[in-house]
Chains A and B, each alone.
Chain A
């Protein structure tokens, strides 16, 4: 039986800092699924997701007294993100991949334009019940470049704020916004092509341009 603790994250952290293992354990109970899911989506590998999850909570033990932020969730997911990104860098043997590097795609002038525009075949809450949809959305996410994928995971799946996402990735908030927009547009295109209702397809009206 899990003992449900209704304290806030910050209260649990404070008690953990005083050496109460039970408080720390409650935080682990609260975040282990999220951390594991985040690690899985970034690394795409079960064993790596386990390593990252364990490293995240070990780091938490090491750095308990260092926490100065406002949001414990932001802090925990930031540590998890850093561990997951290390795995990616190691795997791609690019130890110096910089998330702060910007390129032409980090501007609004070259946004991918919506092409296949249609209503969904069924409401998203119905679509997501199907195994094939769940596989397709994960496949679509996997196809994105890391710089877009990771921003989408943190911001739209884990619901970190723009600022927390920027801090976790060490990029500017402006960069988070434009990368997120590109990620959303690319995923939209791919998923509506697959799960859109062809009969409702419309074409952009260029009279407005």
Chain B
């Protein structure tokens, strides 16, 4: 496997999907063991995804959440009649 071929199969390897055969997985691992740049690229891609998954960068505004709940409750009542446990909250 060349660096170029590894690049094309990167998603399947990083995501651990079953699209790669056992033989392909082994070729991938074998290339990685002997190629530091490709090792770093794989690690960088994992790190990039991890950075985006962390935290909650866009918190839901409290004021909007309250308005949303009222609007949904109103629409629900129009469609199905009064929501029976709305007052629980």
Give Cα distance in the complex from A36 to B57, angstroms: 11
Residues 61-90 (chain A) with a chain B CB within 8 angstroms:
61-62
Give Cα distance in the complex from A21 to B70, angstroms: 12
Do the beta carbons of A37 and B57 come within 8 Å of each other?
A: yes
Q: Which of A58, A108, A162 contacts B75 (CB 8 A)?
A: A58
Among residues of B, the one whose C-beta sits closest to the C-beta of A181 is: B11
Interface status of B55 (Cβ within 8 A of chain A): yes
Do the beta carbons of A208 and B53 come within 8 Å of each other?
A: no
Do the beta carbons of A202 and B57 come within 8 Å of each other?
A: no
Do the beta carbons of B69 and A28 come within 8 Å of each other?
A: yes
Do the beta carbons of A184 and B48 come within 8 Å of each other?
A: yes
How many residues of chain B get a CB closer than 8 Å to chain A's CBs? Answer: 50
Give Cα distance in the complex from A114 to B45, angstroms: 11
Interface status of B37 (Cβ within 8 A of chain A): yes
Do the beta carbons of B2 and A128 come within 8 Å of each other?
A: no
Give Cα distance in the complex from A205 to B44, angstroms: 17
Among residues of A, the one whose C-beta sits closest to the C-beta of B65 is: A32
Give Cα distance in the complex from A49 to B68, angstroms: 12
Flag B55-89 by CB within 8 Å of A: 1 or 0 each.
Answer: 11111110011001101110110011101111011
Minimal beta-carbon separation of B53 from chain A (angstroms): 6
- B21 / chain A contacts, CB cutoff of 8 Å: none
Give Cα distance in the complex from A141 to B58, angstroms: 14
- A209 / chain B contacts, CB cutoff of 8 Å: 2-4
Sampled A-B contacts (23; CB under 8 Å): A3-B88, A19-B80, A19-B81, A20-B84, A22-B83, A25-B89, A28-B72, A32-B60, A36-B58, A58-B72, A58-B75, A111-B8, A114-B37, A117-B44, A125-B50, A137-B52, A156-B53, A157-B52, A181-B11, A184-B49, A185-B7, A188-B45, A208-B35
Known: A36-B60, A50-B64, A124-B51; 12 extra A-B contacts, CB below 8 A, are A25-B69, A25-B86, A33-B56, A37-B56, A53-B68, A117-B37, A119-B40, A127-B51, A157-B52, A181-B8, A184-B45, A204-B3
